[in-house]
Structure 1
Amino acid sequence: MFQRLAQQYRSVVNDLVMSLQALASSLKKRGFTATCYICEDGRDGQGASFVADLGDQHLVRFLVSDFGISWVESRNGHELVKLEGAEAIQELQRMAQFLQDHGQAATSLTSKEINEVAELPR
């Protein structure tokens, strides 16, 4: 049973990594500063660090690995919010939805890009 759960978690991490890459790419195309660094430990472990500058010194960072999932939001260098696990994934979805619904640069996110983020496991 535990082996199956570990494999399911690795699958969630893999899905998140792919979605973060797609989100960073789409944000860059629309003029935002966004990066997604991928890391692998060589034993089927994978993770990513996603950072996006949403303007007005508003930064978000999403970390995912075999060790956990976290969301950190800051403004002017001060941490505003730190979430982990499912709450972090929901905040990532909220940001993607906000970008889809607001702003000139954000309105051109394609439905495919938004759906990649929206389909993350909950």
Structure 2
Amino acid sequence: MFPRLAEHYKSVVQDLVISLQALTKSLKTTGINATCYSCGDGRDGHGASFVAEIGEGHMVRFLVSDFGISWVESRNGRELVKLEGAEAIHELQRMADLVQMSQGAVAAPVAQSA
């Protein structure tokens, strides 16, 4: 049972890394400075570090690896919020939803004028 759970978790980590890379591209298209660095080759562990500037001095950092998942939000270098596990993933989804809404708002006027 435990080896199966370990493999499932590694799969979740890989999915999150791919999602973080896509979110980074989407944020950049909306003018938000974001970076995503991935590490590992998939066999000996895999993970990513995602950082986005969401306002003046306001940043979020999402870390995912075989060791855990965390979301840290800070302003002017001071930590405001730290979430782990499922709560961190929910916060990441909230950010992705906001990006989708903003891209929809930008795309809608273009579609109407065509």
TM range (shorter): 0.7 to 0.9
Superposed, 1:35-114 pairs within 5 Å as: 35-40=35-40, 43-101=43-101, 107-108=102-103
Structure whose residues are more often helix by fraction? 2
Matched residue of 1:18: which SS? Answer: helix
Partner Cα distance (1:19, 1:69) in 2: 14
Instruction: Tell me which stretches of 4 or more aligned residues in structure 1 moved more than 3 Å.
Output: none
Any gaps of 5 or more consecutive residues in structure 1? 102-106, 110-122
**TM-score w.r.t. length of structure 2:** 0.85
Q: CA RMSD in A?
A: 1.7
Matched residue of 1:43: which SS? Answer: coil
**TM-score w.r.t. length of structure 1:** 0.80
Instruction: Say how many residue pairs are matched.
Output: 105
**Residue identity in the other structure for 1:73:** E
Among the aligned pairs, what percent are the same residue? Answer: 72
Any gaps of 5 or more consecutive residues in structure 2? 105-114
Matched residue of 1:71: which SS? Answer: strand
Matched residue of 1:48: which SS? Answer: strand
